[in-house]
Structure 1
Amino acid sequence: MTAVYDGHCHVASSRFIPRAFVEDVASNVLCRLGSMGAAPKPGRIADGLAAQHEDHLADGLVAEMDAAGVERAVLLVPDFGLRMAGTAEPAEAARLHHEIRQRHPGRFWVYIGVDPRRGPEGVRDFEQMVDAYGLDGVKLYPPCGYSPSDPGLYPYYEICAARALPVFVHTGPTARSLDYGPAHPMRIDRVARDFPAVPFVLGHGGLTHVEVSAYLAAYRTNVYVDTGGFASAPSLSSWPEHLNQLFRMGINHKIIFGTDWPLGRLNGGLKGLVAEVVEGPTVFAGVSRKDRELLLRENLLRVLAPGSRPPG
């Protein structure tokens, strides 16, 4: 079996995920359950989700990775600080993730969150974090209120270009209190042209705005698509069929497999999800072995090691 790398995970910890974000997610779940006439008390869902965000050292995640056969994963660290209070500031988050990597050597890459509104000090802090902890990339969360093509991000992109760091950009819907407009994938088009040496990964691009994301990946040599959240989207009646259709669009050299763990905890855990992807009858039906290797491992490695990226 092809070794599996997960390109989209988070440490399920209240140190990095704000309570307000958890409550927004709970409200979405409540709305869906209410439409089926089975909604529990609102606080019960939020408390249940919050209780799942106490894996501060990623021990639970590593245990699930081991059970699922996932060798390594990317830890994404959004910077919510200017929009939602209560989580570690970027420098502290980077330090804590460094400790997690020391605790679990060889298991994680880390993309740290940045926000253009933090100004020149934020840029200096970012460069210091990269030097101190050997960070592997940048995580952007535009729903917090900025465009990924904001000129304030260009100093970060210059550092990424100089150090061969990828940029992971959330696209599509998210918590209901955040801004959806800046999260449209076309917002990346300008900066992808301005920084052709920087790989940009469209988070959830294989899930929402799929046609636009696939179009960008097909025609922008440095744009990739991520599958994160595929098993948790309320709009998908059957995610195996959805992934199979995605993998038949002719851009398998540009798609990175990701789960968006810990969302998978709500759908049977990482082991069940990965087993359905790798061993199930649907996801890879008609997909070549070579493409499977690209999707489950090689594309992520190419993003992380730009010298090995093919053109196109």
Structure 2
Amino acid sequence: MKIIDFRFRPSTPEAVRGMLAKGGVFSPMFELFKFADRAKPEPLEKIVADLERCGVVKGVVTGRDAETTYGLASSNPGILELMAAYPDLFIGFAGLDPHKGMDALATLADMVEKRGMRGAAIDPYLARIPASHAKYYPIYAKCCELEVPIVITTGPGTLVRGAVMDDAHPRHIDRVAADFPALKIIISHGGYPFVSDAIMVVHRNRNVYMDLAEYEEQPFSEGYIKAANTLIGDKILFASAAPFMDFQEQIALYRRLPFEPAVRENIMYNNAAGLLGL
């Protein structure tokens, strides 16, 4: 079975060291979940070989830029390096900071038109403003102009200082979907813990998709499985959330979860392929 991983970052030694650096915005979360004990830093060549062995034909690498609020500089340069090294495997989505205004639009245009990226990525939780905030609307309009989708991260990272869960609530995405019906939106991390709300946002808006990265087995996650088999099986995307999660273990998990066979095939490849125009 061919697989498209819609949220993948390789666990290279450099990436793992960066994630485990003391004082980072996610450091308390990584310590709580003992990420250092389960991290598996490996050379990029080994990671790529494992992806190919597992049937992963594309990996979407979503960027992040939360420099204004948390001092997290853009990860776009590193994504460009991955794309250059393995252009047939990695697809980049440009991370954008909405507080940077017109500079964010210039970044998006450059990354898509000149550097070959295929979409945009924002994180309202880290930006500390909801997805329906006016600062995002020029970004959405630019995505429509460029005809590229946008990933909206909704996972409320644990123990992130100053961030509030409401900024990541999927109800804000419902308004964006109504205001920009031509914009293809991917809710990343399933809108957790607002499971029912996220499901309905995906169900009632033709232009909204969802991945379940990291939350497939959390409390109330059975709602995702039921919705996949009955309502939105053509709009859920496989996303491993590597390197925080082991992508090989995540693939094995999706083979075990009680998806209908046709739904599983859609989730693992077909839905993403259609969204990306492959």
TM-score band, normalised by shorter chain = 0.7 to 0.9
Runs of at least 5 residues in structure 2 that lack an aligned partner in the other structure? none
Q: Deviations over 1:199-227 (max 9, x none)?
A: 11111117532211111111111111111
How far apart are the structure 2 equivalents of 1:117 and 1:24?
25
How far apart are the structure 2 equivalents of 1:58 and 1:76?
17
Shift of 1:54: 6.2
Shift of 1:146: 1.5
How far apart are the structure 2 equivalents of 1:17 and 1:192?
32
How far apart are the structure 2 equivalents of 1:198 and 1:159?
10
**Aligned ranges for residues 149-160 of structure 1 at < 5 Å?**
149-160=132-143
Matched, 1:198 2:183: yes
**Aligned ranges for residues 1-312 of structure 1 at < 5 Å?**
2-12=1-11, 13=15, 19=21, 20-29=24-33, 45=34, 48=36, 52=39, 58-59=44-45, 61-85=47-71, 87=72, 89-90=73-74, 93-144=75-126, 145-176=128-159, 177=161, 178-205=163-190, 207-230=192-215, 235-236=218-219, 244-265=225-246, 270-278=247-255, 280=256, 282-284=257-259, 287-289=260-262, 291-305=263-277
Shift of 1:59: 3.9
Residue 153 of structure 1 aligns with an amino acid whose one-letter code is: Y
Shift of 1:158: 1.4
Preserved contact between residue 206 and residue 246 of structure 1 (Cα < 8 Å): no
| Gap change, CA 1:301 and 1:250, over 3 Å in 2 | same
TM-score for both structures, normalised by structure 2: 0.85
Preserved contact between residue 168 and residue 191 of structure 2 (Cα < 8 Å): no
Q: Deviations over 1:115-154 (max 9, x none)?
A: 2111222222321222221111111111111221121222
Identity of aligned residues (%): 23
Preserved contact between residue 138 and residue 166 of structure 1 (Cα < 8 Å): yes
Q: Deviations over 1:31-85 (max 9, x none)?
A: xxxxxxxxxxxxxx47x27x94966x84454243234222211111111212323
Preserved contact between residue 63 and residue 93 of structure 2 (Cα < 8 Å): yes
| Gap change, CA 1:159 and 1:303, over 3 Å in 2 | same
Rg (Cα) greater in structure? 1
Shift of 1:162: 1.5
| Gap change, CA 1:15 and 1:192, over 3 Å in 2 | farther
| Gap change, CA 1:71 and 1:169, over 3 Å in 2 | same
Shift of 1:296: 1.1
Helix, strand or coil for the counterpart of 2:148? coil
TM-score for both structures, normalised by structure 1: 0.76
